[in-house]
Amino acid sequence: MQYSNGFFFQFIRLAGPFWSSENKAVIRGQTLALIVLTVMQMGIAVVITEWSAALFNALEQHSMSGLLKQVALLMLIFAASMAVTVTHLNIKRRLQVEWRSWLTQRVIGQWMDKAHHYLVTHIQSANHDNPDGRIAEDIRIATEEAITLCHSLFYSVLVLIGFTAILWGLSGKVGIDLGLVEIPIYGHLVWIAIIYAVVASFLGWRIGKPLINATDVKQTAEANFRFDLATAREHSLAIALIHSEADEKRRFFRLFREVVDAFNRQTLAISHIMQFTSGYSVLSMAFPVLVSSPRYILGNITLGALMQSVQAFQQMTSALSWPVDNMSMVAQWRASVERVLSLVKALDDLELELARVDPHRIVLEKSADSVLRFQNLCIARLDNVVCVSALNAEIRAGERVLITGNAFTGSKLFKAITGLWPWGSGCIELPDEEPMFFMPPRPYLPTGTLRGAICYPAVDEVIGQGVLEQALALTGLKELVEQLDQVDCWDKVLPREQQQRLGLVRLLLQRPKWILLQESFDSLDPDGETEMYRLICQELPDAALLTVTNQPTADVFHQRQIFV
């Protein structure tokens, strides 16, 4: 996707394919139904003004039969309005949630594809912080409010067309006497309404323009504050152990001050709009009556025509004032769309960067044999400082190799092997058709049943109860058998030692041929760590083992070392 074009073109390029997606027949049918129902809503509004004129004429004529007739017609209008409004609401909300679902699936699909969710954090080409908030909240606003705004704009255009014709007919002809000549003016109420609404819209636009930037700043500040609170919750044990609560509080207060500052800035912008719109709304009630009443006093029009003129004038000025009335919503919608576009742009830039031929990229290839091979491998940091230089080595199936030296550099080597660190040069040949199992210092345990967390990412139903109980017993976690079907946040409930043992349970269940351990047992005591290595060698004797650790207990379980 190219981003050199205008904002609306970018949004259409991103979200417009929804109407050509797999379910396009239903989507287009719902859109057409929404258009038809909007036309019917405008038609009911026109009918109401006609009914109002007839009602006030009946009152002016003291006609009881005319009044009863209008009461009967009101019942029909009432029923039609309810049916159209409810049907319109249901279809609109269905279309909103389907569009949101489609765009959410598209962005999540791109974000979670081939580790882009991790790699995108290392590029600086676009603003892409807090992707969770952009996906969960900004996509909702971008889609739901887009439909709401399009509907209200379309309705306003229909109202403008319909009521301009009505108001033109009710205006008749008035003349301006200049003494020697009288200038006839046709549709004077239409011209007054246009001038009135255009002036109000221009003033409202000028007053409300700062709200767009203020809303964007506030949403960013809110997202940053929310993200840091969630991060602190995830690392609450580490914070408690080093007694860094005071630092965390200072950081939270600083972020919250940014939220308050952004809130106050938005409040100031909204107050300017509200100050204008409140006066505008009061004037809108009285102005059309004052403009039309002289013709009624002079007897040129009936009371019904006066009231119909007032309603038509109000409808027309309301339609022309759409920019003023929706300034705040447009600002919020645009800010959310820009945040979604920034995330998608960052993902697109990442894909282009990874696809681009660059000598400063690590090449991953499949080897013809069961060998992990490093050929002139150089690994660089993001600031271009080289961590590993000209590494040439071979690791054959079943070998156990200890990666010693700098643990940070060792972790970069593992990331390069798994395709998560392309920055550098040289080539890594991977064993063909043999997946690698990577054990980080802290395994990922998704919220849900303990059984599902252990078996992740495999389907837990595939692994039998007996096999799972045996693996738990081997790793010293037999007491967790009774909790297998309990639902909890296991990364918060279980201590780090048990989490690392569960990582080994997952390894024993999957039984891979290639194992990469990155300080996977560093929270265990020396005896526990020795037990885990012995268990791997005993249960998976044919698996190749690469271990990054500086613990001396690991030496005896490895055949050779590679220093990085």
Domains and their CATH numbers in the chain: 7-355 (1.20.1560.10), 363-563 (3.40.50.300)
Q: Of 140-149, 286-295, 481-490, give the lowest mean pLDDT range.
A: 286-295
pLDDT at 358: 67
Sign of the dihedral through C-alpha 456, 462, 463, 466: positive
Confidence of residue 1 (pLDDT cuts 50, 70, 90): very low
pLDDT at 3: 45
- Does the pLDDT value for residue 4 go beyond 50? no
Q: CA dihedral in degrees (15, 17, 22, 27; nearest 10)?
A: 70
- Strands across the sheet with 371-380, in order? 363-366, 424-430, 371-380, 386-396
- Distance of CA 476 to CAs 19, 395, 532, Å? 55, 31, 10
CA distance 147 to 93: 9
Nearest to 507 by CA among 530, 481, 536: 536
The CA distance from 515 to 441, in Å, is 14
Residue 153 pLDDT:
92
In the DSSP assignment, the letter for residue 480 is G
- C-alpha 438/C-alpha 546 separation (Å) is 10
Task: Give the pLDDT of residue 364.
Answer: 87
pLDDT at 383 over 80: no
Please give the helix or strand (H or E) that residue 491 lies within, else none.
Answer: helix 490-493
Q: Is the peptide bond before 457 cis (omega within 30 degrees of 0)?
A: yes
| pLDDT for position 181 | 62
| DSSP annotation string for 140-181 | HHHHHHHHHHHHHHHHHHHHHHHHHHHHHHHH-EEEEE-SS-
Are the beta carbons of 331 and 215 closer than 8 angstroms?
A: yes
Percentage with pLDDT > 70 across the chain:
93
pLDDT of residue 184: 67
Residue 84: predicted pLDDT: 93
* Residue 558 predicted with pLDDT over 80: yes
CA dihedral (378, 382, 236, 484) positive or negative: negative
Q: Which of 167-181, 264-278, 289-303 has the highest mean pLDDT?
A: 264-278
Question: Tens of pLDDT along 145-165?
Answer: 999 999 999 998 998 888 888
Euclidean distance between CA atoms 96 and 148, whole angstroms:
9
Find the farthest-apart pair of alpha carbons in the chain and give their distance in angstroms, rounded. 116
pLDDT band, very low/low/confident/very high, at 310 (cuts 50, 70, 90):
confident
Measure the CA dihedral 121/127/133/139, to 10°. Answer: -120
DSSP state of 396: E
Confidence of residue 179 (pLDDT cuts 50, 70, 90): low
Residue 195 has pLDDT above 90, yes or no: no
| 179's tokens | 């003494």
Q: Which residue has the higher pLDDT, 178 or 276?
A: 276
Where is average pLDDT lowest: 44-53, 256-265, 299-308? 299-308
For residue 408 the two structure tokens come to: 């940070």
- Asked whether the beta carbons of 562 and 414 are under 8 A apart, the reply is no
pLDDT for res 145: 92
Q: Say yes or no to pLDDT of 98 above 90.
A: yes
Please state the rounded mean pLDDT for residues 378-384.
82
Q: Are strands 173-177 and 182-186 parallel, antiparallel or unpaired?
A: antiparallel
Higher pLDDT, 114 or 514: 514
Q: What is the pLDDT of residues 268-291, one digit of tens each?
A: 888 887 777 777 667 767 777 777
DSSP codes, 399-453: -EEEEES-HHHHHHHHHHHTTS--BEEEEEEEPTT--EEEE-SS----SEEHHHH
Q: The tokens of 148 are what?
A: 């709401």
CA distances to 381, 456, 482, 518, 542 from 446, rounded to whole Å, are 30, 8, 19, 20, 30
Between residues 133 and 41, the one the model is more confident about = 41
Are 45 and 161 a contacting pair, CB within 8 Å? no
Predicted local distance difference test score (pLDDT) of residue 28: 93
> Residue 539: what residue type?
E
Both tokens assigned to 401: 């190799």
Q: What pLDDT score does 113 carry?
A: 86
pLDDT on residue 550:
83
Strand order in the sheet with 514-518: 436-439, 514-518, 544-548, 400-404, 560-563
Q: Nearest 5°: phi and psi at 243?
A: 55, 50
State how far the Cα of 229 lies from the Cα of 45, in Å rounded to an integer. 49
Question: What pLDDT shows up at residue 465?
Answer: 87
Query: What average pLDDT score do residues 371-388 get?
Result: 86
Buried b (16+ CB within 10 A) or exposed e, 543-554: bbbbbbbebebb
pLDDT, mean over the chain: 84
Average pLDDT score over residue span 118-129: 70
From residue 150, give the alpha-carbon distance in Å to each of 144, 164, 531.
10, 21, 65
Taking the CA of residue 273 as centre, how many other CA atoms within 13 Å lie in the half-sphere pointing to its CB? 24
- The reported pLDDT for the residue numbered 95 is 94
Q: What pLDDT band is residue 144 in, cutting at 50, 70 and 90?
A: very high
Residue 379 · residue 409 · CB < 8 Å: yes
> Which pLDDT band, with edges at 50, 70 and 90, does 2 fall under?
very low
Range with top average pLDDT, 126-135, 271-280, 425-434, 483-492: 483-492
Question: Which of 456, 442, 461, 452 is CA-nearest to residue 487?
Answer: 452
Q: What is the DSSP letter of 560?
A: E
The set of residues, in sequence order, having a beta carbon less than 8 Å from that of 17 and lying 6+ positions away, is: none
Which range (252-256, 306-310, 414-418) has the least confidence? 306-310
> So what's the pLDDT on residue 289?
75
Q: Which residue has the higher pLDDT, 512 or 4?
A: 512
Confidence check: pLDDT of 24 > 60: yes
pLDDT at position 460, please? 57
Give the integer Cα–Cα distance in Å for 183 and 181. 6
pLDDT greater at residue 138 or residue 286 = 138
Least confident of 318-327, 362-371, 533-542: 318-327
pLDDT at 298 over 80: no
